[in-house]
């Protein structure tokens, strides 16, 4: 596995003990160490590890032979694949199927807890990347899984706990925190500028003039490649940018105005429509 860039290697921590037992080894989740391989290549149905990262830490593109449930007990992660970008707030989690090439940017200091899940351990689990709501039970199961040494017997207390973790993953909701990435070069140019400057008010007509393409053609391509209209994609990009800013402690009024909303109330209305709660309640 490639090493990360931009920051020193992650620091590893052990959460509070749940039971008296020797602590399982910790490993850098992106370092080619024997300890890391113990988790990533484990023959066990589930293997879990803990790692802490500094703000700004960014991994290189990499993949794992097992599926991953990546949970931040603290901090915000931005996960990228060739198919799009996902923002993972604290207390939520990112599901990635096996062999998904991805890279992760830590938008803040992150306490990451990862469960590696063998693909055949639960074939009914999701086959696409998505952000999951993490229930209180699933959170505690992930933390408990970190304390389980490898290997373990399937019919032991540890094996049953891991089985319950898989069952609970099937029960939690998926969350609309995905920004799909189009393949079309022209659409990518539009999308990259929106992500870089989410307060931009360029219209479809403006983009059509810049690219020499009929605005209706751009709209059709957006719908075909992302499942969204141009306006919906831009709105989603703004909301995900807002979440990252709010997680960093910025005030709602400043976030709203920075992202081009007419007023904080207009921003709050759109936020609640998308996420089912006001900005002030999202990170509680």
Q: What pTM did the predictor assign? A: 0.80
What superfamily in CATH does domain 182-282 come from?
A: Homeodomain-like (1.10.10.60)
Fold match between domain 34-175 and domain 182-282: no
User: In this structure, are residues 48 and 72 in contact, taking their beta carbons and an 8 Å threshold?
Assistant: no
14 to each of 62, 137, 144, how far by Cα in Å?
25, 19, 11
* % of the chain with per-residue pLDDT over 90: 72
Q: What is the pLDDT of residue 48?
A: 96
- Run of H or E including 258: helix 252-258
Before 151, cis peptide (omega within 30)? yes
What strands lie across the sheet with 178-180, from one edge to the other? 103-106, 77-81, 84-88, 178-180
Q: What is the pLDDT of residue 24?
A: 38
Q: What is the pLDDT of residue 124?
A: 86
Other C-beta atoms lying within 10 Å of the C-beta of residue 4? 22
Q: What is the pLDDT of residue 5?
A: 35
**What's the per-residue H, E or C state across 100-168?**
CCEEEEECCCEEEEEEEECHHHCCCCCCCCEEEECCHHHHHHHHHHHCCCCCCCCCCHHHHHHHHHHHH
Q: What is the mean pLDDT of the chain?
A: 86
Per the structure block, which two tokens stand in for 166? 């898989």
Residues 157-192: tens digit of each pLDDT: 999 999 999 999 999 999 999 999 999 999 999 999
Q: What is the pLDDT of residue 34?
A: 45
Instruction: Over range 210-230, report the average pLDDT.
Output: 95
Residues 54-97: tens digit of each pLDDT: 999 999 999 999 999 999 999 999 999 999 999 998 889 999 99
Tell which CATH architecture fits domain 34-175: Sandwich (2.60)
Around 268, how many Cα atoms within 13 Å sit in the side-chain half-sphere? 11
Residue extents of the structural domains in the chain: 34-175, 182-282
Confidence band, pLDDT 50/70/90 cuts, at residue 38: confident
Residues 118-158: tens digit of each pLDDT: 999 988 888 999 999 999 999 999 999 999 999 999 999 99
Q: How far apart are CA 158 and CA 164, in angstroms?
A: 10
Q: What is the pLDDT of residue 36?
A: 60
User: In this structure, are residues 43 and 52 in contact, taking their beta carbons and an 8 Å threshold?
Assistant: no
Q: What is the pLDDT of residue 131?
A: 96
Direct distance between the N- and C-terminal alpha carbons of the chain, in angstroms, rounded to an integer: 35
Instruction: Over range 195-219, report the average pLDDT.
Output: 94
- pLDDT at residue 32 greater than cutoff 50: no
Q: What is the pLDDT of residue 35?
A: 55
């Amino acid at each position: 596995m490639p090493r990360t860039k931009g920051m020193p290697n992650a620091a590893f921590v052990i959460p509070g003990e749940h039971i008296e037992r020797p602590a399982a080894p910790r490993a850098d989740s992106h370092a080619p160490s024997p300890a890391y391989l113990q988790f990533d290549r484990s023959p066990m149905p589930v293997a879990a590890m803990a790692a802490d990262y500094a703000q700004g830490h960014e991994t290189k593109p990499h993949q794992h032979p097992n599926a991953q449930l990546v949970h931040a007990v603290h901090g915000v992660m931005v996960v990228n694949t060739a198919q799009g970008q996902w923002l993972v707030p604290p207390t939520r989690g990112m599901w990635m199927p096996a062999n998904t090439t991805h890279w992760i940017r830590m938008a803040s200091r992150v306490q990451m807890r990862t469960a590696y899940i063998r693909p055949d351990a639960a074939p009914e689990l999701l086959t696409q990347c998505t952000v999951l709501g993490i229930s209180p039970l699933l959170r505690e199961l992930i933390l408990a899984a970190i304390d389980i040494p490898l290997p373990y017997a399937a019919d032991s207390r540890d094996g049953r706990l891991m089985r319950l973790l898989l069952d609970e993953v099937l029960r939690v909701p998926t969350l609309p925190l995905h920004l799909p990435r189009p393949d079309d070069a022209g659409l990518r140019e539009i999308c990259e500028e929106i992500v870089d400057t989410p307060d931009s008010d360029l219209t479809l007509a403006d983009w059509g003039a810049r690219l020499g393409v009929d605005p209706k053609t751009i709209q059709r391509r957006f719908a075909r490649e992302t499942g969204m209209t141009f306006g919906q994609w831009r709105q989603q990009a703004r909301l995900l940018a807002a979440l990252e800013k709010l997680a960093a402690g910025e005030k709602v009024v400043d976030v709203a105005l920075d992202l081009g909303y007419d007023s904080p109330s207009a921003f709050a209305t759109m936020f609640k429509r998308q996420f089912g709660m006001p900005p002030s309640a999202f990170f509680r």
